[in-house]
Structure formats: structure tokens, C-alpha cells
Structure 1
Amino acid sequence: MRIRIGGEVHHGDAVDLRGVDADATAVRETLDLAADDPLATVSATPPALSVALAAAARERGHDHPNDAEIERLRAALATTEPPDSSDPAVDLATARRRAAEAGSDVARLRERVATLRGRLRERRGGDAEPGTSAGEAESLAEVESAFEAATRALTEAETERVAARQALSRATERARRARDASERERSRRDALANRRREARAALARELWDEFWTAFDAVAADAPATDHVGDDPTAFDGDPVAGHAAAVRLARRDDPVVVSAPLFDDEAAATVRDRLRAPVVLVSAP
């Protein structure tokens, strides 16, 4: 292991950086340790014991029947197309409003056209009578012009209503597809979480019989606990020591960044031997 911190390079499988200006996160990043690796850091805030033991089992080559399904679900989620940037619910509301307004416009204009048509009949009915005044003739022309304008407006409104209804149909279908896609993704995520949880519990139990020996090896000074229970959920001992025991069981080749008070009084080589892994010790926060 080679690590450069503060302009200095440190070598070996038991590096002590306590007293050096370096925190666990910076050291972990320097060592390029995966952010989601539950065994890469031993600190005062450990993960759940079942998570750590399952990771240790994985590191030792154990697998689980759920693995194929987990990979299938992960692949399906990874290839899910990103959602459209627009909100289908907003689009649908807009389309509904447009369709409603278009329908109202058509109804209003039909009523106006019908009214003007009646007025035209009245005016035209009087054209054949003698003595029609210029004012009456002008009134007839005005009604005809208003009727023609209202008829054109009605035609345009009916065209808009057809377009609005078509847009509403498309928006409704798009919203339905978005809901279906969201439901499928949610179902896959739930299924993936369940399969992972099942696999994690089973893998953790595979190392449970070995756990107590490892716990005693790493936690000589930890608060005593009874060796009871038939799975990791029964563990009620020191959580940091339990996590360290899981690291020991993993038999890691990758380094472990240690910032737990549990090992404050231990030399780096001693911690390395207890964890059975290369270690970098940093000061606990």
C-alpha cells in the first residue's frame, strides 16, 4: 500500500496517520476505496451488522440464489429511459383546460350564429316590402357582416376544438404511459430492495457461527456481551467491535481506514493483525 498525504508518501500494510492532518474521508478517497463499501472504514458510526457480515461473505466469494434476479433488476433499472423533462400531469391539466375553453367557445359562437341567423331572416323578410329606408338597408348589411364574421369564428373555434380534443387524447395517453412507467420502476425498485434484503440476511447468517470468534479477537477491550441468538439481528454488543469483527472475517486485501476510538491505544501493526487486513489509522473525529 502506498498513500500520499500532506506531501508525504507512506508505505506498508499498517500505516499510522494519527496526528497527521488527514480525515477518514480524504484517506478513503486517496486510496480509491468504493464509497458504498461497508468494510472500507471502521469508525464510530458503523453500518448494521447484517450489512457488514453480508459484505464480508461476498468478499469471501459467497453468493446467493437471488443474485441473478438482483442483477436482472439492476440492469432493467439502469436501462430505464429518463423521464420527459415536461410533467405529464401539468400537460394533461393544460390540455383539459384548452379543450374546455374550446368547447365553451364553440357553444358561445353557435348561440351567436343562431341569433344572427334569426335577425337576418327578419331583415331579409322585410326587403321585399316597399318603403325600405336606407337605415334599414344598412342595418341588414351590418347583420350580414356580423353573421359572416360569427360563422368564420365558429368554423375556427370548431377546428380548435377538434385540435384541443386530439391534444387532450394525446396528453391523457402520455400521462397514462408515464404512470405505468413510474409504477413499473417503483415495482422494480421495491423488488430489488427485497431481493437484496433477503440475500443480505442469508449471507450474514452464513458467517454467524464464525462471528463470535472474530469478535473476541478484535474486541478484547470492548464491553462484554453474551454469545446468544441465532442470527445477527440478535447481536447487542458493541457495534464498532461487531463491525471490526466482520472486517476480520472478510480477509480483505484492500485497505481499511480505521478511525474508531476502539483502537486508539493500539499500534497500527496490532490493528492490522486484528482486522486481518491492510490498515490506515487516522485520528477519530
Structure 2
Amino acid sequence: MKNLQSKPNEVRVEKAIKFGKDIIREIGKSRELNLEELVVASLFNSLLRRSKACLAINREGLRDELYNMLRVSLETYISLCYIIQKRKFIKDRATSYCVGYLKQQQTNIETGENVANLQSSLNLIASKLEKEAYQRVINEWENARNKSEGKYTPKWYSLFNGPTSFAGEKGLIKKVLEETPAYKNQNKTAIFNTYKNLYGYFSQDAHGYNAIDNIILDQSTLQQPLGGEDTDNALQLSVSFLVYSLKLIGENVFPEYKKDIQFFIRSMY
């Protein structure tokens, strides 16, 4: 029998995934969702899937592979926070996210990639965009594109004077931290550096750099079994991503679930 006490974060992630999926199911069948709600529900569902992948990898004890998936989870989490952390920006940021997706997929069509059924999917997404908000974002996207003289495709989060990169000094991570009420009176620079360093560290294996890390120094590493490393502490990040995302969803997007979410969060600590 599995010793649940030996991997407390594994148990907590499993609990958060189950609760989060139950909430998403309820949201999905409650009513027809508007664009912003669909974007939020989709991103959170993606975070749930990535968290489940982290859980499975953690059980195998594959450290570098877990870091890989935590990197992807962090990207999804930061994007979700940026969209919903400020109520007054939710419509524009959710629309920007959709426009960024549409523009990228249109590029795929133009280059002959993933053409089958893609155009009908794009038409369906475009039909859900509120006309006024959509036009405002399209205009902003075109302006940003023209300023670069067509040299680059604007990132969705860069619109309306948004961040210019993901992890840089003027990046998305830093912007999200600046907008986080919990960090209002804290040293945001130190917190940002922690996130930035984590993202950089997690990215090393994503680019394949860790593959030779130990083997070049010690060839006998090739004889070791795969997995079996203690990775449960790293899984704490998945817990944090899920819990804070749920908190924002209850406060800013689906207030009808706020009390249930608050009750759940209290049960986690």
C-alpha cells in the first residue's frame, strides 16, 4: 500500500485536481459561457491537465521531466493570472488571448499547416468574440505589427502596453507579480527573481541541456535505473498554481462558486 504520508504534496495535488475538475464540470453545464469565461475555463482546464501530468511524473520520480512540465504549468498559470487578476482588464486580455491564437492559426493556414477543419474552428471562435472588443484588439494588434514594420508577430500579452517578454525585466511574470494584491507590501524584486530563476532552471532541460549533465562527469550514470528520485517538494508548485488560480476564478470570474472554493482552500492548509 502507498504510504500517503511520505508524499504530502502528491496527495494535495490530487485533491486539488479533483476539486478543480468538479468545478469546471459544473461551470460547463451551468449555462452558455461568454468569451471571457470560456477562455478562463479553457486555461484552467489546461492547468489541470498539466498538473495531472506533473502528478504522474512525480510518482515515477523523474526529476528533470517534472521540471519540464512545471515550466509549462508555470506558463499556463501566469497567463491565466494575467487575464483574470484585474477585473477591469478581463475582457480585453481574454480577447487579446483569442486574437493572438487566431492570428497564429491563420499563419498556419497560410503556410499550409493543420489546414483540415482549422478554418471552421477559427470561424467559430471569431463568432464568439464581442464585436466592439474584437475590433479594438484587432486594431491594437495591427498597430503593434505595423510599428515593427511586419518584422514580428505581437504576443497577445504585449497589446495595450503590456509586457514585452515572458520572463524578462519587462515581462509577463513581473507584471503579474506587480498586480498581485498579496505581494503589495513585499519585496517584489526578490519574488520576481525567484520566479525568473525557477523558470530559467526549468527551461534548461526543455532545451536539452541537462541530458549530458551527469553522464559526462560520470559514465556509470548510464547504468542507473530511470526515476526513483524524491521530487515531492517540487510538486508544491503545482499545489500553489492550482489553489491561487481557483481563488481568482471564484473572486473575479465565477462568483457563484466563491464560497465553495474558499471552503476548499481552507481545507488544504
- Do Structure 1 and Structure 2 share a fold, with TM-score over 0.5? no
**Structure number with bigger Rg:** 1
Q: Which one has more relative contact order, counting CA pairs under 8 Å at least 6 apart? A: 1
Indicate the structure with greater strand content.
Answer: 1
- Larger helix fraction of residues: 2
TM-score scaled by length of structure 1: 0.28
